[in-house]
Structure 1
Amino acid sequence: MTSESTVGTHGKTGAAGAHGASANDCQLFKTLMDALESGHRAVLATTLNQASEGNVLAKKLFTNSEPNESEALSDDALELSAFIEGGLQRGEFTFEQAEDGTATLVEPYFPEAQLVILGGGHIAVPLAEFGAKAGFKVTVVDDRPFFANNFRFPAADKVICDSFDNSFDSLKLNKATFVVIVTRGHRYDKVCLENVLKYETAYVGMIGSRRRVTGLKDLLLSEGQAPDKLASVCTPIGLEIGAVTPEEIAISILAQVIQYKRKGDKANRKANNWPELDLTVLRELAKPDQETRALVTVVETKGSVPRREGAKMVVWMDGRTIGSIGGGCSEGEAIQTARDVIRDGRFRYLDIDMTGQVAEDEGMVCGGTMKVLITPV
């Protein structure tokens, strides 16, 4: 189901730079952050009309949280319903320009991807390290203090020392969670798998020999576990790369986790795109700010470029920035244009060409172009 947020609709006219950041913008991004932290997916739909007087810019936020039965999409949202659904379900980014000067931008936002490692043994150590470096928010669970501590897992966002059964009250598993079961024994595997399958998660993988895994699945089937749920568990775990050492096995597991994140499960392969999420930028946009800032968003790319659609950067008048659209020459020109946007409050498009000598001199391994949208916030 899709719910529509009413706080995200507003118009911008005139010199926004003289009035500071829009309160509606701040509230909209705060609502977006709240939705993501609750495990919901969201889509931000922006309509632009560069040709109209006042440089109108309107925004609406949609999430996949369960709405009240009385809620329905507004007429303008119904026109965007296919784009909204594509964003929420498959992470599809949409930017369309019409000949009359109007444009539609639909940006998907998924919750921060979590990697939950159940078991703190020798494979969990490199898996937590590599998972954090790959952008996952890592949680490790084990019931042994010697194995479940921050010294052993410095890269983990959270380490829980408790029984596996009790830990599920604080894990808050959701569709943005990737679960890896690497416990030290059959009975712990059973407890973990029984609990994990109560939730809808993005991925579940369990280590173990074929005999051990088959025996556990047969036992759970006999106890009434749904066959389709058990069939969704990745066993044997990881991609087949001939891994032997704990580090190689961790890479094999993480590669499969990333495959599910980027391409979906086997039934939906190539139908899923997990959008990039820069929480630093979103947190900044959710702050009330006396100064008007400019938001630079990559809306189109062709060829080899450093960042894809949806990448963002916040720019202040004094040249300060948060986030990145690729660095080097691509950002320098965007910062200059952002200052003009801050001055007059009118959004602009900027085409950045990284196919020439300038990009090469900047050390950018690129050969493409980017279109960015720069708006006051």
Structure 2
Amino acid sequence: MNVFSRIFTQLNNGNKVVMLTVIDSANREGNKQTEKIFCTEEDLRNPGFSGNLNPETKQIVMQAMHSGEIQVLTASEQNLVVAEPFFPQPNLLILGGGHIAKPLCEFGSKLNFSVTVVDDRLVFANPQRFPDADQVICESFEKCFERLNFNPYTYVVIVTRGHRYDTVCLRAIAGKTWAYAGMIGSRRRVRGVMEQLIAEGISRDVLAKVNTPIGLEIGAVTPEEIAISILGQVISYRRLAKPELGSESDKINWTEFDRDVIQELSLGKEDNKAIVTVISTRGSVPRKAGAKMIVWPDGRILGSIGGGCSEGAVIQTARDIIREGGYRLSTVDMTGSIAEDEGMVCGGTMEVLVESFNNRKDSKRP
């Protein structure tokens, strides 16, 4: 099992991981391969693992795991270490398949959420109605939670057709782990649900975390507008450390990565290819650190680091690396006239790592 297979498995289990890529600067353009080390939060708590990391490397691993941002350590002129975090894909759980659920599913999928829709009526819970959903479950609201997984990356939207079902759903999620929960309904309807659940002994503190009325106040009227107001609030809980304050200074910039790229690399195919990773950026650029793409010898690609002629030059470098082996660090310059010529509103640079990859086995141990 290669390192990307382990990463993909951990992500599907709702766990964060960090991949360390160790680069020998003296041989950046030679045939030597990069070394990759796979690390989970559990590994960091294990003295047998973390004790083998030097203090500087352990620090950047912990920073990457906490912040979700790539960390680069230049230990000396001879070594460069990249700590690349991978966070699970956020799951948007829509409880109720009515008129608001349709745009919620469509827009949520476009925002890179894995979308699950639940309703107890087959006419409202089927793949034809929700083609963008990763999963559509037709089951009673009482029983559906037996089939659902919750983790810190779960965002719950309760948009059922009535007070009774709202109560069932809110009661069920009260004891679960989630990043966000919101429930639609009038103030009277919401108050009735809350009072009933408090009378049942459910914690007031837990219920206070549920966003009711749901969504941002933007004067939304149509189902599409209401969906946008809800997703705007969901995004604030995903991206801001303190969403209730809306402070940009508390913004969480999780590393960009293309899940399709990681999934492809996890399959263990024995074909030659190159991996391109943006490891750092300066100024205005189309993709941030963590963006990845795969390049095959015939020029096919999966993923992107931003498009344009600059990406074309990197693709050519990647094809050279496939033939020659090894790896190369390249700088993509998007300043001044270069960006203008490509029609991009950019003015920065990207440091890009290009590596040959042929499904070799990578060590998990440092």
Same-fold call, TM cutoff 0.5: yes
Q: 1:49 aligns with which of 24, 30, 48?
A: 24
Aligned to 1:354: 334
The letter of the residue matching 2:217 is E
For residues 3-14 of structure 1, what are the structure 2 equivalents within 5 Å? none
Aligned to 1:247: 224
What is the DSSP-based 3-state SS (H/G/I as helix, E as strand, rest coil) of the residue aligned with 2:15?
coil
* CA RMSD across the alignment: 2.4
Q: 1:227 aligns with which of 196, 204, 210?
A: 204
Pair 1:339-2:316 in alignment: no
Q: Is the 8 A contact 1:45 1:105 kept in 2?
A: yes
The letter of the residue matching 1:292 is N
Pair 1:189-2:166 in alignment: yes
Deviations along 1:40-74, whole A, 9 cap, x unmatched? 11111222121269746322112235899785423
Aligned to 1:281: 261
Q: Is the 8 A contact 1:299 1:309 kept in 2?
A: yes
How many residues of Structure 1 are paired with residues of Structure 2 in the alignment? 352
- Distance in 1, Cα, partners of 2:67 & 2:46: 24
Greater CA deviation, 149-158 or 102-111? 149-158
* Change in CA separation of 1:271 and 1:228 when aligned onto 2, cut-off 3 Å: farther
Deviation at 1:292, TM superposition (A): 2.9
Q: What is the percentage of aligned positions where both structures have the same residue? A: 51
Q: Is the 8 A contact 2:19 2:39 kept in 1?
A: yes
Aligned to 1:15: none
- Distance in 2, Cα, partners of 1:161 & 1:77: 51
What is the DSSP-based 3-state SS (H/G/I as helix, E as strand, rest coil) of the residue aligned with 2:143?
helix
Q: Is the 8 A contact 2:326 2:355 kept in 1?
A: yes
Pair 1:309-2:289 in alignment: yes
Q: Is the 8 A contact 1:88 1:108 kept in 2?
A: yes
Q: Is the 8 A contact 1:50 1:56 kept in 2?
A: no
Aligned to 2:62: 85
What is the DSSP-based 3-state SS (H/G/I as helix, E as strand, rest coil) of the residue aligned with 1:164?
coil
What is the DSSP-based 3-state SS (H/G/I as helix, E as strand, rest coil) of the residue aligned with 1:217?
helix
Aligned to 2:35: 58
- Distance in 1, Cα, partners of 2:83 & 2:351: 15
Q: 1:131 aligns with which of 108, 116, 135?
A: 108
Aligned to 2:233: 256
Pair 1:298-2:275 in alignment: no
* Change in CA separation of 1:219 and 1:84 when aligned onto 2, cut-off 3 Å: farther
Structure 2 gap ranges (5+)? 358-366
Q: 1:145 aligns with which of 117, 122, 126?
A: 122
Greater CA deviation, 321-330 or 48-57? 48-57
- Distance in 1, Cα, partners of 2:6 & 2:332: 32
- Distance in 1, Cα, partners of 2:330 & 2:311: 11
Deviation at 1:298, TM superposition (A): 0.4
What is the DSSP-based 3-state SS (H/G/I as helix, E as strand, rest coil) of the residue aligned with 2:232?
helix
Greater CA deviation, 219-228 or 138-147? 219-228
Greater CA deviation, 227-236 or 187-196? 227-236
- Distance in 1, Cα, partners of 2:141 & 2:17: 31
What is the DSSP-based 3-state SS (H/G/I as helix, E as strand, rest coil) of the residue aligned with 2:2?
helix
- Distance in 2, Cα, partners of 1:58 & 1:340: 20
Q: 1:213 aligns with which of 180, 183, 190?
A: 190
- Distance in 2, Cα, partners of 1:134 & 1:242: 22
Greater CA deviation, 139-148 or 305-314? 139-148
- Distance in 2, Cα, partners of 1:224 & 1:73: 43
- Distance in 2, Cα, partners of 1:263 & 1:236: 20
Aligned to 1:330: 310
What is the DSSP-based 3-state SS (H/G/I as helix, E as strand, rest coil) of the residue aligned with 1:144?
coil
- Distance in 2, Cα, partners of 1:60 & 1:197: 38
- Distance in 1, Cα, partners of 2:43 & 2:168: 30
Structure 1 gap ranges (5+)? 1-25
Deviations along 1:196-231, whole A, 9 cap, x unmatched? 122211211111222322332233223222233222
Pair 1:40-2:15 in alignment: yes
- Distance in 2, Cα, partners of 1:100 & 1:120: 58
- Distance in 1, Cα, partners of 2:186 & 2:139: 26
Q: Is the 8 A contact 2:84 2:290 kept in 1?
A: yes
Q: Is the 8 A contact 2:98 2:124 kept in 1?
A: yes
What is the DSSP-based 3-state SS (H/G/I as helix, E as strand, rest coil) of the residue aligned with 1:75?
coil
